[in-house]
Amino acid sequence: MSKIGIIGAMELEVETLKAQMKVEKKTVKAGMEFFEGTLDAANVVVVRCGIGKVNAGICVQILVDLFDVTHIINTGVAGSLNPKLDIGEIIVSKDVIHHDVDVRVFGYPLGEVPQLGCREFIADEKMVELALEACKEVNPDLPTTTGRIVSGDQFISSNDVKNYLIENFAADCAEMEGASIAHAAYLNKVPFVVIRAISDKADGSAEMDYPTFEREAAHHCAEITKCFVQKL
């Protein structure tokens, strides 16, 4: 039987799921509240990890150690780096990379953590397929992309940084947790996928667009996640 860890960085990324689930137990660890229970027919643990890569990595380790999760999903919002990926649209991760890791001086490719043996964390193929199915079911008219997500402890809001991420990583969107979640899932051999709704264009307009669209985008992503976990 699957037990699915669902992580959002912010409250608005998990509040829809928490409101709709039947909570059996709440556990607090590392300042994070883990809600264990069911979302319709699915066994889930829903948690807000807080913003950024350290929170995200710690959260995955707790989900693995204390809750024995079989799958990990990261739901939330992201800034688009792909002109074809508009605000409100959904991206499902094909792979995820740390954009703020740079040990090129010792011969490692930009984004690769030394001695780990990989730069890209590949999302679970089956989870990607089912997530795409869920996207179509929840919102048949909305375009959905599978692509590359990059993460760093940085809100991207300038054309210069945006172009750097596009040129160096050929990335489709940027956010602040996915790569750590993927990295920790990889170390623990737990399958993962990241599903994000676009809240801004990660450029000069991002600080205006983000507060306007984040709530709607986050809730939409949570609805897809709810549909998706029924399929796992």
Residues that bind ligand ADE (CB under 6 A): 77-79, 155-157, 174-176, 199-200, 202, 206, 210
| 166: exposed, middle or buried (Cβ count in 10 Å: 0-12, 13-18, 19+) | middle
What's the start-to-end Cα distance of the chain, in Å? Answer: 9
Smallest gap, in angstroms, from Cβ of residue 12 to ligand ADE? Answer: 12
Question: Which residues belong to the active site?
Answer: 13, 200
Smallest separation, CB 150 to ligand ADE (Å): 9
Nearer to ligand ADE, 43 or 93 (CB): 93
Buried b (16+ CB within 10 A) or exposed e, 180-195: bbbbbbbeeebbbbbb
Closest residue to ligand ADE, judged by C-beta, is: 79
Between residues 67 and 121, which has the closer beta carbon with respect to ligand ADE? 121
Q: How far apart are CA 63 and CA 71, in angstroms?
A: 10
Cβ-based nearer residue to ligand ADE, 76 or 191:
76
Q: Which is nearer to ligand ADE, 47 or 174 (CB)?
A: 174
Cα distance between residue 83 and residue 101, in whole Å:
25
Provide the minimum distance between the beta carbon of 189 and ligand ADE in the complex, in angstroms, as a whole number: 27
CB of 99 to ligand ADE, least distance (A): 10
Could you tell me the smallest distance in angstroms from the CB atom of residue 108 to ligand ADE?
A: 23
Considering beta carbons, is residue 112 or 200 the nearer one to ligand ADE? Answer: 200
